[in-house]
Amino acid sequence: MHSIRPSLLPEREITPEALFLRRRSFIRAGAAFSAALLFGCGEDTSARASTPAPSPLAKLPNVLPAPAGYRTDEEPTRFEDATAYNNFYEFGTGKEEPAENAHTLRVRPWAIAVEGEVAKPGVLDIETLLKAYPLEERIYRLRCVEAWSMVIPWVGVPLGEVLRRFAPTSQAKYVAFETLVDEEQMPGQRRRVLDWPYREGLRIDEAMHPLAILAVGMYGRVLPSQNGAPVRLVVPWKYGFKSIKSIVRVRLVARMPRTTWSDENPSEYGFYANVNPQVDHPRWSQRSERRIGEWSKRPTLAFNGYGEQVASLYRDMDLRRNF
């Protein structure tokens, strides 16, 4: 188990005032013998830094700094990479497709329906979330099941704080989440590559854990659409597919809810999906990962390095069976 080293250094400038550009994906393979492969490669870093973005993302005001234990002092991933390398199949299955296609997502008006085993069901409007809750920065590692990882400075609110306002009953054993379904806004949903809507879930104690947040921003600004705007989940000790994006529904339930990737392939993706270097994916190893921005792989940490904070949730569980 590894712990987060609480940072004693002043908070670093996370990213330059950099703005994202949509990258042309040159890995669009098809069988076409395309010479575009060459032309897609020629990006110049200096050009990237100085070219203004089409519409800059709004800065989030009054963001509290991350408390010790809720931020890693590892080098954050470059904003350009965090916003151009995404798994968000609602906008295409290529890594660069969400950045190219997510501009059709309408992030206002937006509300999350909170229902099920709660004494006060209702609707959480995104504006309420942005204004009536104290926003905090959280610098977390994000580990994808595909064995790559990033370090992202999120801005959000602990999920538990939000749920408490809706008063979960004693019957609430799990929390289920759903992403938006709208083929017009999300062209990737026109193909049934996944069984839409994207669904995810947490056990109630996982949901109430202080590490789990509803993120409304990153790098000090609101979320780009390709990163799951306007509000998404971040559960840093689990594989990235658990951190569901563009949430429209939260339901408190008594039984373990269905989750999209587990439905797709139950032998490869489980409900818990805790980062675990000792439990391989059936087709590839989980012992190491590529930190985006680095050339060599690094060893993967149990619970993505958050073991000190979350291992107790799984004390009596066989994590190989409950993968």
Partner 1 sequence: MGHFGGARMNRHLAHAALIALALVPFAGLALGAARGGLGANPVETITHVTGGWALRLLLASLAVTPLRRLDARLAVLAPFRRTLGLLAFAYALCHAATFFALDLGFAFGLLAEEIAERPYVTLGFGALLALAPLAITSTRAWQRRLGRRWVALHRLVYLAAALAVAHFLWLVKKDLREPLLYAAVLAVLLGARAFAARRRHASA
Q: Which of 90, 96, 136, 200 binds partner 1 (CB under 8 A)?
A: 96
Contact stretch for partner 1 (CB under 8 A) within 159-167, 201-209, 283-291, 311-319: 283-291
Taking alpha carbons only, the member of 298, 291, 296 closest to residue 82 is 291
We find the least distance from the C-beta atom of residue 43 to partner 1, in angstroms, to be 4
- CA pair distance 95, 101, nearest whole angstrom: 11
15 lies in the binding site for partner 1 (CB under 8 A): no
89 binds partner 1 (CB under 8 A): yes
192 binds partner 1 (CB under 8 A): no
If the CB atoms of residues 101 and 309 are measured against partner 1, the closer one turns out to be 101
Told to check if 203 binds partner 1 by CB under 8 A, we report no
Residue of 107, 147, 145 lying closest to 127 (CA atoms) = 107
Number of H helices, E strands in the chain: 9, 12
Contacting partner 1 within 28-87 (CB under 8 A): 29-31, 33, 35, 37-45, 80-82, 84-85
Least separation in angstroms between residue 237's CB and partner 1 is 21
Query: Of 62-70, 176-184, 292-300, 309-317, which part binds partner 1 (CB under 8 A)?
Result: 292-300
Residues 240, 227: Cα–Cα separation, whole Å: 12
- Of 68, 186, 193, nearest to 138 (Cα)? 68
Q: Is 283 in the site for partner 1 (CB under 8 A)?
A: yes
Residues 112-151, one symbol each (x = binds partner 1 by CB under 8 A, - = not), give ----------------------------------x-x---
Q: CA separation (Å) from 309 to 75, 149, 306, 313?
A: 21, 20, 6, 9
Calpha distance 121→141 (Å, rounded): 32
Does the protein bind partner 1 through residue 263 (CB under 8 A)? no
CA triplet 256, 257, 260: central angle to 5 degrees?
Answer: 135
Phi, psi of 221, deg, nearest 5 = -125, 170
| Position 110 contacts partner 1 (CB under 8 A) | no
State in angstroms the smallest separation of the CB of 311 from partner 1: 27
Q: Are 200 and 269 in contact (CB under 8 A)?
A: no
The neighbour count for residue 284, using CB atoms within 10 Å, is 11
| Residue ranges in contact with partner 1 by CB under 8 A | 23, 27, 29-31, 33, 35, 37-45, 80-82, 84-85, 89, 93, 95-96, 146, 148, 193-194, 264, 283-285, 290, 292-293, 295-297
